[in-house]
């Protein structure tokens, strides 16, 4: 099967030869941009350098992906492929951030929730069944902020993580 993200042939070739396989056959991986359902991988994280919370969270998302319809005994649908893929993308994006490990759980409707807390602050990222991501910031017991994280703004995920761990002045 031809991979649409790998360009074969030498650099700057106007007409790559699909039968030509050489040492530089896989020299260029195209950027994914927004989530692509057909993508086979999003990033590489060596196991030796991955944090424990990251590995645990990736495994949890993988296990949750095997839930069947009705997992909560109220008829909720299983986790959607888009929600699972986006949750993995969020975790990969935040893997190198200095955050505590999240609590990862399914939510009714086919989505997934990831919750972090640090001191009096809490951050919830909910990946909806269509792959969109909503956030809820809890500053203290009486102040909250919520919103939507655009699919092309992975930098905003990092800003959310930075907010969680910064201490108010």
Q: What is the mean pLDDT of residues 84-103?
A: 90
Task: For residue 25, report the phi and psi dihedrals to the nearest 5 degrees.
Answer: -60, -30
Fold of 37-165: Nuclear Transport Factor 2; Chain: A, (3.10.450)
At residue 9 the predicted structure's pLDDT band, cuts being 50, 70 and 90, is: very low
At residue 18 the predicted structure's pLDDT band, cuts being 50, 70 and 90, is: very low
Find the angle CA(74)-CA(68)-CA(88) to the nearest 5 degrees: 110
At residue 167 the predicted structure's pLDDT band, cuts being 50, 70 and 90, is: low
Task: For residue 155, report the phi and psi dihedrals to the nearest 5 degrees.
Answer: -60, -30
Question: H/E element holding 63?
Answer: helix 52-64
Residue of 51 and 123 predicted with greater confidence: 123
**Mean pLDDT of all residues belonging to the chain:** 77
**Segments of the chain assigned to CATH 3.10.450:** 37-165
At residue 168 the predicted structure's pLDDT band, cuts being 50, 70 and 90, is: low
Residue of 124 and 38 predicted with greater confidence: 124
pLDDT of residue 151: 81
Residue of 21 and 123 predicted with greater confidence: 123
Check: CB of residue 64 under 8 Å from CB of residue 84.
Answer: yes
Query: What is d(CA 43, CA 64) in angstroms, rounded to the nearest whole number?
Result: 21
Task: For residue 134, report the phi and psi dihedrals to the nearest 5 degrees.
Answer: -110, 150
Residue of 117 and 140 predicted with greater confidence: 117
Please give the model's pTM, rounded to 2 decimal places. 0.70
Q: How many residues does the chain have?
A: 169
At residue 47 the predicted structure's pLDDT band, cuts being 50, 70 and 90, is: low
Residue 117 CA, distance from chain mean position: 18
- Select from 115, 123, 113, 114 the least CA-distant residue to 164: 123
């Amino acid at each position: 099967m031809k991979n649409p993200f790998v360009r074969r042939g030498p650099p700057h070739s106007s007409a790559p030869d699909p039968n030509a396989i050489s040492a530089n056959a896989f020299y260029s991986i195209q950027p994914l941009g927004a989530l692509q359902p057909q993508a086979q991988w999003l990033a590489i994280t060596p196991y030796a350098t991955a944090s424990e919370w990251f590995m645990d969270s990736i495994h949890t998302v993988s296990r949750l992906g095997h839930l069947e319809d009705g997992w909560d005994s109220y008829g909720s649908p299983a986790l959607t492929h888009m929600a699972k893929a986006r949750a993995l993308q969020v975790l990969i994006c935040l893997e190198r951030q200095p955050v505590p490990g999240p609590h990862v759980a399914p939510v009714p409707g086919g989505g997934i929730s990831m919750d972090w807390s640090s001191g009096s602050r809490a951050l919830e990222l909910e990946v909806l069944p269509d792959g969109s991501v909503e956030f809820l910031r809890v500053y203290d017991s009486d102040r909250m902020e919520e919103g939507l994280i655009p699919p092309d703004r992975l930098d905003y995920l990092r800003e959310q993580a930075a907010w969680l761990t910064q201490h108010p002045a």
